[in-house]
Amino acid sequence: MQFTAKEICVLLNGELEGNPDETVFTLSKIEEGVRGSLSFLSNPKYEPYLYTTEASVVIVNKNLQPERQVNTTLIKVDDAYSAFSVLLERYNQIKLNKSGIEQPSFIHPSATMGDQCYVGAFAYIGANARIGKNVKIYPQVYIGDNVTIDDNSTLFSGSKIYSDCTIGKHVIIHSGAVIGSDGFGFAPQADGSYNKVAQIGNVIIEDHVEVGSNTSIDRATIGSTVIRKGVKLDNLIQIAHNVEVGNNTVIASQSGISGSTKVGEQCIIGGQVGIVGHISIARGSQINAKSGISKSITEENKQWNGLPVSPFRDSLKMQAVWKKGSKNWNSFSRISNKLHPNLPKDFVLVGFLNTFAFKFF
């Protein structure tokens, strides 16, 4: 699909400098621009490319004052990065604007479908499923019995939604994600074996949530595992049964949350964070990558780091202390060996630790 510079300028409410009839049909980085492409410049570091790029149209900030002649058409806006993100979203909507039901696919006779839906080949939609308007279900998606998917949601190829789960509006679920698989519940027996505890709850995903590829969200034992409005989950995340994740929380890849833990609103959780079960994380908590959370965090809007987790600045101070201590250990050990060559190593270590603790604590 082609657009003129004038059409893009009107969409972005910008100011045009150059040829209003310049046509673009693809997007590019400014350093890789070719004729017919649209690019943007927001980082001053990339300004030299503005004078050499072959992109037909470039979106720039209004306060930009070119140092040399520019050979491309410019669209000036208040924030070039935000404006370009608007175009990316519009481009993505056009690219993914599919409709109709492909064959072979299976839709149970008792399932209901809203208008303008897309169902890709080899998709399965179970009994009593309720699919809203403009829902996109890509090939090889599995939707179990009694599932509800609200308007304008997208399920990419290979995602699986187990029975009885509820998906809200404008939700995006990426390939390989599994929603509603059994929680990890097993009862230990006297003989050392384990009996499976039936997981009869479901998963509720509210509006405007995005779930990354190969992420797994377990159904509740009883009740619901709940992902609140606006949550963004990266790829390869494990969320266990009966967990609740608060509004607008973001979680990075390879993190895991154990059962029945409650994560507050607007938290930021880095990659490979591990959180034990049956605790709560206060609103606005920021948890650094690879941290381990073994007890509840009750103070709101604080940064945390380490294993076990501690306040972020405290953890940095401790790292600095131990780094300095490791350097001093070699010197302390050499001096001790010269003064007392037959002294046991345990005594040397105790002496160093006492000296170190007295100096720094």
Q: Is-contact 308 326, C-beta < 8 A?
A: no
What is the amino acid identity at position 149? I
Strands 250-251 and 15-17 turn out to be unpaired
DSSP string spanning 205-222?
E-TT-EE-TT-EEEPPSS
Give the contacts of 193 (CB within 8 A, at least 6 positions apart): none
Closest CA to 168 of 207, 132, 135, 204: 207
Q: Choose the catalytic residue: 170, 208, 241, 340.
A: 241
DSSP of 313-352: HHHHHHHHHHHHHHHHHHHHHHHHHHH-TTS-HHHHHHHH
Mention every residue, 6+ apart, whose C-beta is less than 8 A from residue 247. 228, 229, 230, 231, 265, 266
Please indicate whether residue 108 is annotated as part of the active site. Answer: no
Q: Please give the Cα distance from 67 to 48 (Å, whole number).
A: 9
The strand pair at 202-205 and 244-245 is best described as unpaired
- For residue 134 the two structure tokens come to 């403009």
- The Cα 158–Cα 147 span in angstroms is 16
Closest CA to 24 of 34, 16, 11: 34
**What is the spatial distance between Cα 87 and Cα 1, in angstroms, rounded to a whole number?**
13
- Give the active site residues: 241
